[in-house]
């Protein structure tokens, strides 16, 4: 039984997650084999039933009941986020960015990134990242200058440059 109260709580355009639980999906040794533990909601109008569908292949369904409803936690509503390529995603505040497994690539292939619509980057984080990039570039130039001088003055074999 799935009560109207829980039906009203359900966000049909949401992405949900659950901890590995054999009640939802059984496994032998690896709970993430062909299973992400992230779910989309599917409603079967003919049967008047709601199911959580794992996002890995969209082929594993778990029918929602009042007893099992709390096994699932909303990550975000797809209407409230936009895809992001992941470049400099950490410039956004933690509450504004998401890194999730939602296809057969799972997290092993990097996962997918989303940011909240209207989110802006955190200036301090951007400045810190840029400073680190500048420092790294300076170190790289210094290293190349040293190698250049060593090669010019025959202090190092060209084989190693």
pLDDT tens-digit profile of 49-94?
A: 999 999 999 888 999 999 999 999 999 999 999 999 999 999 999 9
Given 3-state DSSP classes, what are the helix, strand and coil percentages for the chain, each rounded to the nearest 5?
A: 30, 25, 45
Q: What local confidence, expressed as pLDDT, does residue 9 receive?
A: 97
Residue 87 CA to its chain's centroid (Å): 13
**Which residues lie closer than 8 Å to 28 by C-beta, 6 or more apart?**
none
pLDDT of residue 32 exceeding 90, the answer is no
The predicted model scores a pTM of 0.85
pLDDT of residue 36: 93
The torsion angle over the Cα atoms of residues 70, 14, 24 and 105, rounded to 10 degrees, is -140
């Amino acid at each position: 039984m799935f009560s109207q109260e829980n039906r009203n709580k359900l966000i049909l355009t949401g992405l949900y997650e659950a901890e590995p639980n054999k009640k939802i999906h059984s496994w032998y040794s690896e709970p993430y084999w062909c299973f992400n533990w992230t779910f989309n909601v599917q409603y079967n109008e003919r049967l008047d039933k709601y199911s959580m569908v794992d996002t890995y292949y969209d082929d594993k369904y778990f029918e929602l009941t009042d007893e099992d409803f709390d096994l699932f936690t909303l990550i975000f509503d797809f209407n409230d986020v936009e895809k992001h390529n992941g470049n400099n995603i950490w410039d956004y505040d933690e509450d504004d960015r998401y890194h999730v497994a939602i296809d057969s690539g799972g997290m092993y292939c990097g996962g997918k990134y989303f940011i909240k619509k209207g989110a802006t980057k955190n200036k301090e984080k951007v400045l810190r990242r840029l400073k680190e990039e500048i420092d790294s570039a300076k170190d790289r130039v210094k290293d190349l200058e040293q190698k250049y001088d060593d090669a010019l003055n025959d202090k190092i074999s060209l084989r190693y440059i």
